[in-house]
Structure 1
């Protein structure tokens, strides 16, 4: 019954990726339907996509300008600053908007938004959400067009009207993780279905009632046996025990959950799903055998995830903004920085060490650190400072004493 609300009014082509799911044909070994919605019903897939989208969506966006010396400085009063970091459109906050683009990247491999410009066409005033299953193709003129469905009606937008973040791949569209992971996802769905059905039957196995050797039932006896033996012991309300008489035996033809290594399969499925979406299992609360949920090892895993996975997403978004939102003239002058350092806000020890190192090296001033922490500036806090306690012995004659006392030889 889910077909009509989702597909009503939609026209399918032979190349449409949603066509097999719409007509019930499954292109996978486990013969289970695989879709974005079905994948999100898996706890591992949901948790991995959610935590990735929420993490990226919670980071702050800052407009940067290159000055005459080549340094990049913040431009808090730029028109696009509030669009990226506060309110991209009339319906969503910045966190909600970027979570949606990340949801598309993690599932379909693409994130889309419609660019809305001012009446004179000189200023971007909104980024409206577009479906993650939007399709981009070149038309007869060689221009890229984007097609999507809005309330059952097909809409087309030219390339200049669409903000497109492409995922991994080499083409107009990013490759869909759900589409390429369909074998793993179908196996995971089949495993979960087997477990659910087993529990719904009270863990009763499938099998046959075998009559004594040489005894053949007529139609009436067979119908009576089906009613008293099969139907009476099937379903959720079946009794926990029954009586077999007259030499009737039950022969099981299904594996037990232990023989099927259900627990091991389910654990492995979680790790396989995490591998496809690029999230360490420990991030979603799944510890490998012998691994704890805390400690320096977990911190190293988290840092690897930040560096090897999240940083890639952030770079894609930054470059998509530069290429598809900024004009060529603005691109040479402005850029967007997604504050990766925001990830340290939840770790006070790492944040303190980070600030201390930059302060001691003269990279940041006291007031710059206080601004990042939401504190007011202090007098004299705009001057960079550097530690100078380590100086060459030959370069400081007469300056070295006994534990801070007079210089050596001063009292002789």
Structure 2
């Protein structure tokens, strides 16, 4: 029995066996590294990766935190609907859930399993409640060309008109959906593997894998006893907190592979944060990665978040609600998020912006006060403008000139 048998490589020595193709996977298998060694990724295991947990928590909470209002078209403008559908959307969709809790649950399902679904309970034409559904227990199918949602424990399937459905990314059949965790499984598995390796390394006292060199005993049992003796010596040295332990004469221990510092594990784990951020199209600064962050580009990433991520998901949710709550032909009612909260900025910048809006007749004082959750005031519903801002050559300008005693 040769050294190949000790290492268990005889059956997969593809370099020496011309009948076995030499691929990257087979080559790595010579060294005991196989693709199957990566941890299996599930939603639960993926959420143990801090970057994934941060992305899901941040996105779902941010989307649920957006004010969601229902409006009715009236004359040349719109007015907010009071009670009824507004209460369901912005306060409590049913007796068991708050609006924030319902929407956060839905978005959690979107950003993990890839789909968020809710059933609309109706009484005649009135909407009574909105109930979140477990996507895992929901099957989407077509019956007679129409889409239906079969929920576990229910005898009849719900028609699509009664189900709010927000998929992460639809599959080609328009029924299934892709999961961000499944799409980024390789990056997440690598993050899990590095976390496991780092945990094992430091749990083992920071000792890297070692190889024993020198006169080796003959026979498999003698080799096992020698390895056991060396292992016990290392454990005894760690337990006694002494860095020195005895070695048999003529033998030596040599490090195999790299320790985490030499293997650039810190850099590799940081890169996995960037990879996971790409899966969610999320700027890395929102995953607490400020490696490349500066004051200016962090502000630009904040704009990217609102313009290219939050606004898009908000639009998808709004159109789904408008279609399912009011029907495809409804034109006098609609649902809309208020994104102003994400663009509030600091207090001084906010006050300066509101003041400019009032002084230039863009906002009434009451509209500006409403943005700060303050009550209206008398004469606050009128538009105002600075008195010095008048059309050039108007009578007002001429009268002002005359009052100053100037002549042409």
**In the alignment, does 2:74 pair up with 1:67?**
yes
TM-score when normalising by structure 2: 0.81
**Stretches of structure 1 lacking an aligned partner (at least 5 in a row):** 1-26
Deviation of residue 313 (structure 1)? 0.9
How many equivalent pairs are there? 369
Deviation of residue 183 (structure 1)? 1.5
Matched-pair contact (CA < 8 Å) for 2:217–2:223? no
Matched-pair contact (CA < 8 Å) for 1:344–1:350? no
Change (3 A) 1:76 1:189: same
**What is the alpha-carbon root mean square deviation over aligned residues?**
2.9
**In the alignment, does 2:393 pair up with 1:408?**
no
Matched-pair contact (CA < 8 Å) for 1:112–1:164? yes
Matched-pair contact (CA < 8 Å) for 1:88–1:94? yes
Deviation of residue 29 (structure 1)? 7.2
Following the alignment from structure 2 to structure 1, what is the Cα–Cα distance between the partners of residues 88 and 343? 24
Among 275, 279, 297, the residue aligned to 1:276: 279
Change (3 A) 1:376 1:258: closer
**In the alignment, does 2:268 pair up with 1:265?**
yes
Matching residue of 2:338: 339
Once the two structures are superposed, the pairs formed by residues 140-179 of structure 1 within 5 Å of their partners are 140-147=143-150, 149=152, 157-169=158-170, 171-179=174-182
Among 104, 111, 125, the residue aligned to 1:106: 111
Deviation of residue 357 (structure 1)? 3.4
Following the alignment from structure 2 to structure 1, what is the Cα–Cα distance between the partners of residues 237 and 99? 47
Matched-pair contact (CA < 8 Å) for 1:321–1:336? yes
Matching residue of 1:313: 313
CA offset digits 1:352-398 (Å, max 9, x no partner): 23322332332321122223323232221111112342345533235
**Stretches of structure 2 lacking an aligned partner (at least 5 in a row):** 1-33
Matching residue of 2:297: 297
Matching residue of 1:12: none
**In the alignment, does 2:227 pair up with 1:229?**
no
Once the two structures are superposed, the pairs formed by residues 7-406 of structure 1 within 5 Å of their partners are 31-69=38-76, 71-77=77-83, 79-118=84-123, 121-147=124-150, 149=152, 157-169=158-170, 171-212=174-215, 216-217=217-218, 221-233=222-234, 240-289=243-292, 291-292=293-294, 295-328=295-328, 331-345=330-344, 347-391=346-390, 394-395=393-394, 396-397=397-398, 399-400=400-401, 406=404
The SS at the match of 2:136 is coil
Deviation of residue 284 (structure 1)? 2.5
Following the alignment from structure 1 to structure 2, what is the Cα–Cα distance between the partners of residues 174 and 351? 40
Matching residue of 2:17: none
The SS at the match of 1:259 is coil
Deviation of residue 165 (structure 1)? 1.5
Matched-pair contact (CA < 8 Å) for 2:118–2:165? yes
TM-score when normalising by structure 1: 0.80
CA offset digits 1:55-95 (Å, max 9, x no partner): 111111111011243x2221123x11111111112222111
Following the alignment from structure 2 to structure 1, what is the Cα–Cα distance between the partners of residues 139 and 404? 78
Following the alignment from structure 2 to structure 1, what is the Cα–Cα distance between the partners of residues 227 and 343? 65
Following the alignment from structure 2 to structure 1, what is the Cα–Cα distance between the partners of residues 308 and 214? 63
Following the alignment from structure 1 to structure 2, what is the Cα–Cα distance between the partners of residues 210 and 148? 63
Change (3 A) 1:393 1:363: closer
The SS at the match of 1:124 is strand
Range with bigger deviation, 86-95 or 261-270: 86-95
Range with bigger deviation, 129-138 or 90-99: 129-138
The SS at the match of 2:259 is coil
Change (3 A) 1:236 1:67: farther
Matched-pair contact (CA < 8 Å) for 1:114–1:128? yes
